[in-house]
Structure 1
Amino acid sequence: MNMNKDIILTGDRTTGQLHLGHYVGSLRSRVQLQNEYKTYILLADIQALTTHYDQPELIADSVHQVTLDYLAVGIDPNKATLFIQSMIPEIAELTVIFSMFITVNNLRHNPTIKNEARDRGYTDLYYGFLGYPVSQAADIAFCKATLVPAGEDQIPHIETARKLVRRFNELYAPVLPEPRILTGERLGGLDGIGKMSKSMGNAISLNARPDDVHAKLTKAKTDPARIHRSDPGNPNICPVFAYHQLFRNENAEEIHANCSQGTIGCRDCKQLAGNAINELLAPFRARRQDYEQREDEVKEILIEGTRQARKVARETMLEVREAMGIRYFNL
C-alpha cells in the first residue's frame, strides 16, 4: 500500500442509519481513500447528543447500525480505524482546551449552526449544540488529521478547526497540523427541498429493500409544471434527474432529452432511477446481511479500532500538555 503522509478523519453522527446522501457525499470516497491514507472513521455518539440528548437508546442502537453501514459499503477495518467517540476521553479534554480560544459570538455566527438551529426550530441554543464545531475540531486534532472528507455544509466547521489549531500552535508550540476539507457531491432530497437528510424524512437508506426504493421514488417531487405525460419537462429542477446523473450517468443525456421533449413520463423515469439505485445497493445489502450474522466480530472491530484510537489520543494529549506546560507528572 502506497500510503500518503496525510491522515484522514471522517465520520458521522449516530442518529440513525446512513442514506444515499451520505454515500454520495463522503462514503464512496472513504472507500477509495482508505487505500491511500491512514484513515480514522469516527462514530460521533457524543455529537449525536447535541440534537438527540433525550434519545440515548437511539444513539446506542445507531452506533451498531452505522457500523454495519460502513462495513456494507466497503470500509475495511484492516485499512481504516473505526472508533467510538465517547470512548476516547482525550477528545473531550481537547474540546475543553479548544473552547478557551473561541468566543460565543464566533460560534453564533457559524452559518451551519445558524441554519440547523433554524431548521430545527431552536430559539435558544444549548451549550453543546453551539459548541459542536469545537468538539469537531478536537475530533480532527486528536489524531493529527490533515484531510477531512465532508459535505460543503461542513466548511465553516473545518475553518473553525483550522483557526483553533492555529491559535494553539501560536500560543504554545507547533504540535497540531491544520486540516483541510475534501468536499463531496451533494445529493438533493426526495422532496426537492434541500439536501437528502434523515431529519427531513426525504432520504433513501443504504439498506432499503428494492420495493422500498421504488416506493420512495414514486412519491418523489418532479417538475411541478409538468401535469401530463406529454408535457415538456425541466429536468434541471427535478431531483429524480439528479439521481440519473449520479447513478445512470451514461444514460443521463437521453433522459434529459426525453423529459424536455415530453417523450418519457415521470413514472418511467423514476422506475429507471430506482433500478439503478437498487443495482448500486444490492452488494451493500448482501454484505450487511452477512455482518448482521456476525455480531461478535462487528463488536470486536469497534473494540480494536477504539483501542487504537485511544492509544493515539493519549500520545497527542501528552504532547499538548507538554506544549502548554501542564504535564505535571505521569499517571
Structure 2
Amino acid sequence: MYPDRVVSGMRPTGSMHLGHYHGALKNWIRMQTELPCLYFVADWHALTTHYDDPAVIERSTWDMLVDWLAAGVDPSQSTLFIQSRVPEHAELHLLLSMATPLGWLERVPTYKDQIENLASKDLATYGFLGYPLLQAADVLIYRASQVPVGEDQVPHIEMMREIARRFNHLYGKEKGFEEKAQDAVKKLGSKRAKLYNELRTEYQQDGKEEALAQAKAMLDDAQSLSMGDRERLFGYLEGSRKLILVEPQARLTEAARLPGLDGRKMSKSYGNAIALREDKESVSKKIKTMPTDPARVRRSDAGDPERCPVWQFHQVYSDAPTQEWVVKGCKSAGIGCIECKQPVIDAIVKEQEPMHERAQPYLDDPSLVRAIVADGNDMARKLALETMRDVREAMGLAYT
C-alpha cells in the first residue's frame, strides 16, 4: 500500500483573490500539517481555455506562487511545483488516453457547463475535451490518496477512480499473480488468512464495502508483509490484480463561500474581487462603495441584511456579537451602511497584514520563489518517475 498523499493544483489564469483563499487555500494550509502535500501550478491546464493568449500564463504563474506563500502555504511542509516541469504528467496522460472511453470524457458535467459559460471561446479542441484525463494523470502519477475538492468536482474524482481501476484491470497482469497473492495470504498467519479470504468473498460476491474497509485495515496492521506482497493483497482483494495506480478519494473541503462585491461569485473577470494582497486603502474604498439593500435609500430607512451583499461578508468575517449588532442596527435603521461596513474592512485588512509580510521577501528577491519551485519540481519528478517506471513495465514499454 502506498503512503497517504494529497495532491491539488490551480490554473494560472489571473490574480488570486479572497475567494480563492477562503474556498481553497485555507484548506491547503490546514492539510499540509496533516499529510504530505503536493501543490502545483497547472499551466498546461491554463492552455485548455487560454491557448490563444498564453502571455498571461507565465506572469500569473509566479504571481500565484507568491500568493500561495503569502497565504501561508509552507514550502518546508508542502511540495510546490509547476506541472509542465514534470513531463511525466503528459506521458501518463497520453498512455491513459489509449484506453479511456471517449464517452467518459463527454459525460463530465463541467464539460458542457464550461462550453456554455465560455461560448465566446472556440473550445472544440481535444485539449479541452481531454482536460479531465490530464487532471486524472496529475493525481494518479503521484498515487495520491486524497484530493481536496468542492462538491462540483466530485465527478472528476470518481472518473479518476474509474480510470485507475480500468488501468489496473487491463495492465495489472503480473506473471503468476494468483499464486503469488495466495502465497502472500499464507504469510498473514492462519487466523488472519481465514478472515482475509472471508472478507474478500463478501466484498467480491456481495459488494459489501464494510468488508473491503475491514480487510484493508487488517492489511495496514500486518507489519510483517513486504511492500510487494501488500500491493498484491490489496489488488487481489479488490479483484484488480496488481495495484499500479491508486484510486484517490475526494476530500470535501470546508469552503466558506465568499461572494464578490456585488453578491455574485467573486471573479476578476466580473470586476468584483478583492485581491489576496490588495493594499488597505483600496480594500477600504471597495468595501465602502459596495451596493447594499436597495430598500435603504436614506439613512433613516430600515433594511434587511439578507438582501445585502455586505451581510455575506459579515458571515465570513464577523463574530456572533458583531453579526447581532448588524442585524439589529440594519433592521431598525440604528446604524448606517458605512458604519455597518467598517468591521468588514477592519477584518479584511487584519487578515491581509501577515500576507503582505510573508510576500515581501519574495517580492524583494524573486529568486527565492524560483529556488523553492526548482526543489519542488525535482521532488515531484522523482515521485512521478517511480510511477511511470511501473506504468511502462505494466504496459510492455520497459524494453530498451
TM-score scaled by structure 1?
0.90
- Structure 1 counterpart of 2:360, which letter? Q
2:134 corresponding residue in structure 1: 135
Deviations 1:139-177 (A, max 9, x none): 111111111123333222222222212221222222122
Larger gyration radius, structure 1 or structure 2? 2
1:160 corresponding residue in structure 2: 159
Distance (Å, rounded) in 2 between the aligned partners of 1:141 and 1:66: 24
Identity %: 45
Structural mapping, 1:43-192, within 5 Å: 43-121=41-119, 122=121, 124-173=123-172, 174-182=243-251, 183-185=253-255, 186-192=257-263
Distance (Å, rounded) in 2 between the aligned partners of 1:103 and 1:283: 48
Distance (Å, rounded) in 1 between the aligned partners of 2:285 and 2:91: 46
Structural mapping, 1:270-285, within 5 Å: 270-285=341-356
Q: Secondary structure at the match of 2:134?
A: helix
Distance (Å, rounded) in 2 between the aligned partners of 1:197 and 1:178: 32
1:214 corresponding residue in structure 2: 284
Structure 1 contact 233–262 (Cα < 8 Å) conserved: yes
1:263 corresponding residue in structure 2: 334
Tell me, yes or no, if structure 1 residue 200 matches structure 2 residue 270. Answer: yes
* CA-CA distance at 1:120 after TM superposition: 1.8
- Structure 2 counterpart of 1:177, which letter? V
Deviates more, 1:113-122 or 1:97-106: 97-106
Structure 1 contact 165–176 (Cα < 8 Å) conserved: yes
Structure 2 contact 104–159 (Cα < 8 Å) conserved: no
* CA-CA distance at 1:318 after TM superposition: 0.8
Distance (Å, rounded) in 1 between the aligned partners of 2:307 and 2:93: 41
* CA-CA distance at 1:61 after TM superposition: 1.0
* CA-CA distance at 1:124 after TM superposition: 4.7
1:26 corresponding residue in structure 2: 24
* CA-CA distance at 1:307 after TM superposition: 0.8
Deviates more, 1:23-32 or 1:174-183: 174-183
Q: Secondary structure at the match of 2:250?
A: strand
Distance (Å, rounded) in 2 between the aligned partners of 1:113 and 1:98: 19
- Structure 2 counterpart of 1:180, which letter? Q
Q: Secondary structure at the match of 1:199?
A: helix
Moved over 6 A (4+): none
- Structure 2 counterpart of 1:247, which letter? Y
- Counterpart of 1:40 (choices 38, 41, 46) is 38
Deviations 1:112-133 (A, max 9, x none): 2322222222465322122221
- Structure 2 counterpart of 1:222, which letter? T
- Structure 2 counterpart of 1:67, which letter? L
The 1:90/1:296 distance shift into structure 2, 3 A limit, reads same
* CA-CA distance at 1:60 after TM superposition: 0.6
1:246 corresponding residue in structure 2: 316
Distance (Å, rounded) in 2 between the aligned partners of 1:206 and 1:98: 37
2:377 corresponding residue in structure 1: 306
The 1:188/1:313 distance shift into structure 2, 3 A limit, reads same
Q: Secondary structure at the match of 1:228?
A: coil
Deviations 1:34-59 (A, max 9, x none): 11110001011111111222222211
Q: Secondary structure at the match of 2:88?
A: helix
Unaligned runs of at least 5 residues, structure 2: 173-242
Structure 2 contact 277–355 (Cα < 8 Å) conserved: yes
Unaligned runs of at least 5 residues, structure 1: none
Deviates more, 1:108-117 or 1:271-280: 108-117
* CA-CA distance at 1:85 after TM superposition: 0.3
Distance (Å, rounded) in 1 between the aligned partners of 2:99 and 2:311: 45
The 1:189/1:294 distance shift into structure 2, 3 A limit, reads same
Structural mapping, 1:7-22, within 5 Å: 7-22=5-20
- Structure 2 counterpart of 1:16, which letter? G
Deviates more, 1:150-159 or 1:6-15: 150-159
TM-score scaled by structure 2?
0.76
The 1:253/1:158 distance shift into structure 2, 3 A limit, reads farther
